[in-house]
Chains A and B, each alone.
Chain A
Amino acid sequence: MRYVEEFRDPKAAKALLAEIARVTDEIGATKAKPVHIMEICGGHTHAIFRYGLDRLTPEGVEFIHGPGCPVCVLPMARVDECVQIAEQPDVIFTTFGDAMRVPGTKKSLLQAKADGADIRMVYSPLDALELARRNPDKEVVFFGLGFETTTPSTALSIQQAAAEGLTNFSVFCNHITVPPPIKVLLDDPHMVLDGFVGPGHVSMVIGTHPYDFIPEDYGKPIVVAGFEPLDLLQSVLMVLRQIRDGRAEVENQYSRVVPEHGNPVSIAAMEDVYEKRPSFAWRGLGEIDESGLRIRDKYAAFDTEAKMGIGYGAEVAREVEEPEGCACSQVMTGRIKPTGCPQYGTGCTPEMPLGALMVSSEGACAAYYQYGQRRPVETAE
């Protein structure tokens, strides 16, 4: 028996791990024939590696790391467009810090900034709004990036800019949604997925019903989870119990934060400001139908694509190949582990990322690299 000192409640962790082991046995899952559970959210990926959950859970449980890390799925072409926008005169380009080191074909935003572009890291689109108010002679562009957790914040900021009549604020909208890539992965005949741990904070915004298709159309369980280590263990157990019992449902482990129908103000703001794009390109996954959002025509004055004719606002959205030797797409679809990539740790490190999965602590490669050498804190009893 091993236990984990690092958990805030080691007793509870131990009990959950014992129960996970028991249910895994009941399912008959083994190292050779494991159950595959995908954690969709990059925050969960980070927590799993940080606490060594992949090693504390039985060998019959295999985690597949999902596409829920926004900077990891950002195509190089979009980074190039950011640089292109930022390098225009009289533009202040604002972005979350996470996006600064994502490699483009020529440079990252960090390199563009070093080369003299006015690029500023902000905490919130509200900071970008404030910059626009203070700099009426500049065009302030906010790089709208992320899933449904960050999407409402840009929608509300655009509504605010419209209410104030700001004319020098726009959003380069690259917001994406969680359910479509899950559908793509479930449709992929090479993928074996037996259940999902669903993203808690995305669900805080959209509720739990957008996942109904997972049990209904694919017969797979999904449990919406918080990101504390005990939340994750409990959610894994809930998924395993569903598998054992032959059930497939959407369950909500994180009900203390996630309401069934999400956040009505955020949903209304997103409805008002955005519409689905016919398709959007994901790094490693390719074009996915209805997976990206664009700003509706009534807010065109706040849409960088429309204002500058760039990205999907141009005739055709540019496509670029992934860098030579990068196995991001295989890692992204769970075909290989990060360590299986020839560039891992040599041509690609968190300091000098080649692929996007190495950029953010939510990326599978960076999480592997950061915690890979480390054993979970465990002691033989």
Chain B
Amino acid sequence: MTSLTFSPRVPVIDANVCVGNHHTGPSPCQSPVQLLEEMDFHGVERAVIYHAQGEQISPTDGNEYLEDWLDKDGRLIPQWSVAPVETSMEQIAELHGRGRVRSVRMHDCQSAGLPFLPWGYDDLLTFLSDAGIPLWIPLMDVETDHLVTTFKAYPDLHAVLVGAHYTHALVVRGLLEASSRALLELSRYEPIGAVEALVERFGAERFVYGSWYPRYAMGPILFYLHHTRMDEDELARVCAGNVERLLGLGEGS
């Protein structure tokens, strides 16, 4: 039964939150306290966060700025930006050596001319595959055909495809079929009935809730997921269980 107020029925981890100011302008969320308040308002327990500077400017700087956003309670889970360049790879290796890397997120190199293909990403993808570190990939920053080619070249790579939009409607199924280790983050995916159809085809374990806050509001997709035909177990997996498994998060970690 829908009412004028909403709160989630299951534990929730938001798998896609951006923190800090993007180079094009200030974020509406300026502090960890503000972010935690937003999460509390929507019933989100934990969030996977990356820094805006890591998207298109500097993954290494973005990762340094990210440190300022980490809270002592562990509700904000760091996601480190990465690019297939020496400085970035060294930084990730160092963080990994200290046991701090649960996931990484791809910096946009395509707009600088580097396609997401094995010849440009082999060292990075071999490292991530061997270490079992999942890679978040914004779909707006890669060519679909390159993704399929690269998924097939690195079958052990765990990936989360971020930001699918209705303009990706023709490619989403093909991408999920190209790698059984690829999951789809749902912040923007709104074709009518699509979530139910995809869950029926691929299983709930292939999807994760993310909002991409503050680019998009935190609540609407969470509300949507609670009003689909998914049963409670499937809902719980999409809202938190799948990302917990992927990141190796135990209860309370």
Judge: A and B partners, yes or no: no
Q: Which residues of B contact A (CB under 8 A)?
A: none
